Amino acid sequence: MRKAIFQDLKKIDYKKAWDYQEEIFNKVLTNKATAVSGCCNSEETDAGYILFCEHPHVFTLGKSGVENNLLIDPGFLGKIGATYYKINRGGDITYHGPGQLVGYPILNLELLGLQVKQYIYLLEEAIIKTLSGFGISSSRMKNATGVWLDAEESGKSRKICAIGVRASRYITMHGFAFNINTDISYFGYINPCGMADKGVTSLQKELGEAQDTEKVKEEVKGHLSELFGLRLEEAKTA
């Protein structure tokens, strides 16, 4: 079982978290290069990091996204307390905000023996297993990433977790956004993930009451650890 560092960044500005991801990404990449060069025993090399956080209102557009999927004028963003970033993950546009669990696994996929598609599948599986623990049946949707409820039922399908990743030299960045107590009205300002005909939901909406975010975090964390075969150790604080 590989070790990975777990860190909960709590509520953090999107750009600050993105910069921190880049810093960790470069660290994991350096560790990988050092192991490949034979400077250390690769069996002892850590697999990377898993970061959890929550962001203030923000819309992010992936590198393959369409700007028209932001349905409001950028000048209106300040009126709704939101920001907007074009970023280097895959996928189209999505929303992050209070009450949403955002996960950023920065992992060495080669060390874990995974291809990118397998990695995304396991991210989805962690959320599917978490939802099952709350009595909610969810699944994947054909030709789309993320986790959905009533995925194949026309007019009823709704996304509860978006996934958008970047992988360079088999090191991952970005990750998933799981709607727990999220104000889903903000998704009305975009075509979520470029899909104008699909709905969005949250754990709170499906269960009819606000949920204990810390409990949900622990469930997701446990499933990620199990599915990726990782021993998660808390980040050391200064």
Q: Domains in the chain, ordered, with CATH? A: 2-234 (3.30.930.10)
**Number of helices followed by number of strands (H, E) in the chain:** 5, 12
The strands making up 83-86's β-sheet, listed across from edge to edge, are 83-86, 58-61, 93-96
CA distances to 23, 68, 119, 124, 134 from 145, rounded to whole Å, are 26, 20, 12, 8, 21
In the residue annotation, 39 being an active-site residue is answered as: no
Catalytic residue among 40, 53, 161, 193: 193
| Arithmetic mean of pLDDT, 222-229 | 98
- Structure tokens that stand for 123 in this block: 């991210």
Percent of the chain predicted with pLDDT > 90: 76
Q: Tell me which H or E stretch contains 66.
A: none
Give the model confidence (pLDDT) of 139-155 as tens digits: 999 888 999 999 988 88
| Token pair belonging to 185 | 């009205």
The gap between the terminal CA atoms of the chain, to the nearest Å, is: 27
Phi, psi of 227 (to 5 degrees): -70, -35
pLDDT at 166 over 90: yes
What is the SS3 assignment for 185? helix
